[in-house]
Chains A and B, each alone.
Chain A
Amino acid sequence: MKRLFLTLVCAFFAATGLHAVPDGEVAARRTALDIAGAFTNDGFKLRDGNWSGSFAPGKPGIVQVNLYAGNQYWFTLGATSPAKKVHVTIYDETGKPVKTDEYQDTSVAAAGFSPDNSGTFYVEVEIVEGAAADFCLVYSYK
């Protein structure tokens, strides 16, 4: 487990060094990975990849993902400190919100669920309280 986390951190710093990711996104990614790492204790595998950027109150970000029925997923969002409370919402391919388990703690939030059907889903990340910030979304599956 330590090895996994160390690998993630090393890969993260190597990647940020090579590809000049903005400092805010680096911090947001670190926050997201810290929480997502906890899910590995429950057998979840962290997907090597992320979606990063900036968002502001009233201006959420939405990304399309493709998931498989039978798997369980956790989407974890980390944001920089101007965001005081953030939230993750998952929608199915018709745009209808999906019922999820949730974790929320200031600038970190996660949503977990197991899709009934394989296909396209949308993940919305938003600031509930606070100011514009950088964010990073990662996901885990098992």
Chain B
Amino acid sequence: MIWKLRPLAGCLAFVCLCASAAADATPLTPAEMAAAARTDGISIPMPGEFMAALNKLGKIDWAAKFRLPIGTNYTSRPQMALNLGGLIADGYIAVEAQDAPQVKNIGRDVISLAAALGVSKEVTKRSSSIETFAEKGQWDQLKEELEATQNEVKQAMIDAKDQDLVTLVSVGGWLRGMDVISGQIAAHYTELGGKLLRQPGIIEFLNEHLDKLQDKARDDASVRMVRKKMADIQKLVAFPLDKAATAEQVKELNVITAEALREISKKQK
């Protein structure tokens, strides 16, 4: 049934488009905006969206954005979750670079960390399709598979009543994405690029969730460091609507995110 309707839906969607009279709608009140739902599943963009926007600024050498492999044998679960998020973001970078061996290497590291966190089933069942897509150069499908894997890992954590880990995976992934993108914009600064870094809603959402972590996670050394860095980052990405981050601010942002990632990937003593 769905297959039969699909072509029809496709036609309808593009034939029946009409310009909206947006002015007809009544503006939202501050109370309505404050009460709006916010969920990790739709309010926080996937790394691919950020990269799609960045790709529009010019050709990017994504392979130059790879970082040295990080460890996968941490003893702290919060630190594992932060690094898992960063590794998944590395996967998106490898896909943008269309580098199959790198995708596979990162995939193996993701499985190692996911296993340590008890959510390897969700990753393992997708790993063969990820490898197949990489070998065949089916990059669009690979991006979808990565998104699905990321969401399934988070869902497994939610099912295990471990919301703290979900927050930390999101934060780790966002930091790695911000590291790469701020680095790119810092090296090739334009005002348009500076505007792309404006993310007040995301940083607020992530910091609120970091504040709600349970004591055990919040006391972890890597989490304490990340909370401090995220507070610094908030000042740099929550600028007014009509402004752009300056070249200096972008560089500062890149330094902070790079430092945070270095600290996260260090083994705790």
Contact = CB atoms under 8 A, between A and B. Distances in A.
Chain A interface SS verdict (over half): mixed
Nearest to B57: A70
A118 B199 contact: yes
Report the interface size class on chain A: 35 or more
B37 A51 contact: yes
A7 to B, nearest CB: 7
A11 interface: yes
Contact of A48 (B37, B44, B147): B147
B35 A102 contact: no
Q: Range of interface residues on chain B?
A: 35 or more
Given A111-B20, A137-B42, A71 B151 contact: no
Contact of A103 (B13, B56, B145): B13
A22 B159 CA distance: 17
Interface in A26-49: 30, 34-35, 37-39, 41-42, 45-49
A129 interface: no
A35 B196 CA distance: 29
A89 B39 CA distance: 19
Contacts of B2: 5, 9, 30, 34
B158 to A, nearest CB: 9
B195 interface: yes
A34 B27 contact: no
A12 to B, nearest CB: 11
Nearest to B13: A38
A110 B13 contact: yes
Interface string B30-46: 10110111110111111
Contact of B10 (A4, A41, A68, A102): A41
A65 interface: yes
Contacts of A102: 17-20
B222 to A, nearest CB: 25
Contact of B28 (A18, A111, A124): A124
B42 A65 contact: yes
B140 interface: yes
Contacts of A34: 2, 5-6, 9
A66 B45 contact: yes
Given A62-B37, A119-B198, A141-B49, A38 B6 contact: yes
Nearest to A119: B198
A103 B12 contact: yes
Nearest to B2: A34
A49 B37 contact: no
Contacts of A7: 141, 144-145, 148
Given A66-B199, A95-B33, A45 B143 contact: yes
Contact of A37 (B9, B35, B52, B192): B9
Nearest to A100: B20
Given A39-B13, A101-B20, A51 B241 contact: no
Contacts of A99: 19-20, 22-23
Contact of A95 (B24, B29, B50, B52): B29
A23 to B, nearest CB: 17
A71 B19 contact: no
A89 B32 CA distance: 14
Interface in A14-30: 15, 18-19, 30
6 contacts: A48-B46, A62-B32, A68-B53, A71-B53, A95-B30, A122-B32
Q: Please provide the 7 A-B residue pairs with the shortest distance between their CB atoms, ordered closest to farther.
A: A120-B201, A95-B28, A68-B53, A38-B10, A97-B25, A48-B147, A49-B41
Interface of B: 2, 5-6, 9-10, 12-14, 16-20, 22-30, 32-33, 35-39, 41-46, 48-50, 52-53, 56-57, 140-141, 143-145, 147-148, 150-151, 155, 159, 192, 195-202, 205, 241-242
